[in-house]
Structure 1
């Protein structure tokens, strides 16, 4: 188990960037502190030091700012999506937009710093410093972004959309970094709050629901900015058609068939008593079918990010079922989480699928073991009698 509380997935050994020395030869960038030298900074939110007026004008740059921009422009941009066609958009289109909007440039630098942090040994000074700088740039980015998000227009639409996408990466990655980076909790959702949340506090599943709300909020931002998302940026809005995705292999079809049979399990009939329960059953069967269709993307690396759309497009009632720990909703979610491992090659989501399946397994009663067999096998977990289900019970 890692030090941040996540079980370490079998066979997922971390890789570290040994090219960065543990001790910096310069003072790291901090957007909240004065820059190098004596030059004044005309714009407090500007990420780069500027020239000093006068006869002895000297241009000075913050070295870590340049390092982060270089790292983003040479490495981080390629990790944002698996689609080769989108790489140029992240590298060129969005970076050009960041030169017009300081908060987006700070967002890109924050993302590069997060990326750099995950490439360091967790015990190193470099890891701690990159993590601190990532948080500092996030704070500055959000300070500029929050006032803008409520008034999208032709000038800021692409920048707002881009920062909204970065929020997802921060939200996922922050669960694997120091506690201070867990502060990205913007709620764009309207009418999606629900009483009676029963998920264990600070469990991986509970934390993930917060990320889901950010994901759903991004969809709301896309709707608000869609008018201005034209040109190269439209590449980020593309999604696969049915003809672009192969059919499921037999084991996946069998897994869905077994999961579907849960609604007829005589040991679970109490779940469907009453008119409201019947409506819930219909809802869950619909979402099961949606997942069956969407999850075909796991077989095509180019479209692996499409796996998110199941959660983004799910009706609020299904999200409420997850929040209330509905057992069948959690079992369906465990299947999604197992399929989510198709994204493990991205540094910002690696390990989530394993942790979520493990967490759901600990919450459900042993009667659900049969319905969790496939996701548990997919992430490398094994059954050990009832020991795998000795946590909280939900009949």
Structure 2
């Protein structure tokens, strides 16, 4: 079906009509306008989906503008943009710079509407009709955005580089949040031409770990997009790429250092890895990833930099990702530590809940010989009671 477009210019008057919010009895009205740049007058055209009567041409030749779209764009511009990152300096980028790209690239506008709808859904009771409606809208706009994005991502350029980068970030949010959608709607998928070529996943299907591994592959696809578009990511958008300086992050507390030392002793334990050259190669790989996790996890106590924790999994070498996908116990144990550290992101609506779910699943996957190693992750997510000196003094007082 041919794609229609929404032509944008700077007209003397806004020539559109508003329609009401769709209901479950009127599912076809989930379609919204798409957008592209043009020098012609402002016209709202239908999206490439079946049209309800309210979006047919009116007597004066204009197209009706869906009120739900306007509601969701407003929600993005007043609320959702602030939830994308903890850094205040990045909020204006999400609100203004990314939205400016939405006026030039329809898949960015569709991504904004999808993300806003998903955000609104997660603020509502799952049993409510409104939750189901916003979730359906989110999925519909995700599909529209990806239909435009997938062909474009194979031809990155200066003209679309920022737009591709923006959607890759939206895609990550969708992937993390999709488990909160109703059954059947959490099917965000994307095959990127520059992604990894992974082996089979040996984790039990439909488990949280297996689902998260699929998300890992999406996130790594994001990294591929970033590498392709990096040379065009200049100006305000660079704020989203800024890394903290070493002096901006505090050193680990003694209990965290002790936990990492416990994990390192497990990696160095010759009985936990194969003998010979294979075991030595794996040990060096795991020690390298452990050190990277030590360094990156210092961001966990600085809210401004909490999102930096994702760089560990995004930039992990393919060899480690393969070990993770194959269910290698040591790789899963290291991943359990990262999952526990991910708790610093629990205040984000799109990431909340994952730390507990992942650690609980990994504890069940790994046998009892890993109990001591997994002690710290379990305490971090609340699977095991963690006493403190202050609590002990009150208990014994």
TM more than 0.5: yes
| Matched residue SS, 1:215 | helix
Shift of 1:188: 2.6
Deviations 1:58-105 (A, max 9, x none): 774311111100101100000000010000000011111101111110
Which of 300, 303, 306 is the equivalent residue of 1:304? 306
1:263 to 1:26, Cα distance in 2 relative to 1, 3 A: closer
| Matched residue SS, 1:287 | helix
Structure 2 counterpart of 1:226:
230
> Unaligned 5+ residue runs, structure 1?
1-21, 34-39, 384-395
| Matched residue SS, 1:184 | coil
Is the 8 Å Cα contact of residues 338 and 375 (structure 1) preserved in structure 2?
A: yes
Is the 8 Å Cα contact of residues 135 and 180 (structure 1) preserved in structure 2?
A: no
Structure 2 counterpart of 1:373:
375
* Distance in 2 between residues matched to 1:25 and 1:334, nearest whole Å: 41
1:333 counterpart = 2:335: yes
Deviations 1:277-316 (A, max 9, x none): 2210111011111100010000110000000011111110
Structure 1 counterpart of 2:47:
44
Structure 1 counterpart of 2:36:
none
- TM-score w.r.t. the length of structure 1 is 0.83
- 1:44-63 equivalence runs, <5 A: 44=47, 56=60, 60-63=64-67
Is the 8 Å Cα contact of residues 41 and 50 (structure 1) preserved in structure 2?
A: no
- TM-score w.r.t. the length of structure 2 is 0.83
Deviations 1:133-175 (A, max 9, x none): 1111111111111111111112111111111100000001101
Structure 2 counterpart of 1:165:
169
1:31 counterpart = 2:35: no
| Matched residue SS, 1:153 | coil
**What RMSD over aligned residues (CA atoms) do the two structures have, in Å?**
2.7
Structure 1 counterpart of 2:279:
277
Structure 1 counterpart of 2:100:
96
Structure 1 counterpart of 2:183:
179
| Matched residue SS, 1:317 | helix
* Distance in 2 between residues matched to 1:23 and 1:213, nearest whole Å: 34
Structure 1 counterpart of 2:15:
none
Shift of 1:23: 9.8
Higher mean displacement: 324-333 or 297-306: 324-333
Structure 2 counterpart of 1:323:
325
* Distance in 1 between residues matched to 2:258 and 2:272, nearest whole Å: 25
> Unaligned 5+ residue runs, structure 2?
1-20, 34-42, 386-397
Structure 2 counterpart of 1:235:
239
Which of 349, 352, 357 is the equivalent residue of 1:350? 352
1:129 counterpart = 2:133: yes
Structure 1 counterpart of 2:84:
80
Structure 2 counterpart of 1:245:
249
Higher mean displacement: 178-187 or 309-318: 178-187
1:202 to 1:309, Cα distance in 2 relative to 1, 3 A: same
Structure 2 counterpart of 1:382:
384
Structure 1 counterpart of 2:74:
70
Is the 8 Å Cα contact of residues 185 and 214 (structure 1) preserved in structure 2?
A: yes
Higher mean displacement: 162-171 or 319-328: 319-328
1:73 to 1:278, Cα distance in 2 relative to 1, 3 A: same
Higher mean displacement: 292-301 or 322-331: 322-331
Looking at both structures, which has the greater relative contact order when contacts are Cα pairs under 8 Å and sequence separation is at least 6?
A: 1
1:58 to 1:83, Cα distance in 2 relative to 1, 3 A: same
Is the 8 Å Cα contact of residues 178 and 186 (structure 2) preserved in structure 1?
A: yes
Structure 2 counterpart of 1:19:
none
Shift of 1:182: 2.5
Is the 8 Å Cα contact of residues 23 and 133 (structure 2) preserved in structure 1?
A: no
Is the 8 Å Cα contact of residues 82 and 303 (structure 1) preserved in structure 2?
A: yes
* Distance in 2 between residues matched to 1:60 and 1:43, nearest whole Å: 8
Q: How many residues align?
A: 353
Structure 2 counterpart of 1:114:
118
Shift of 1:190: 4.1
1:43 to 1:122, Cα distance in 2 relative to 1, 3 A: closer
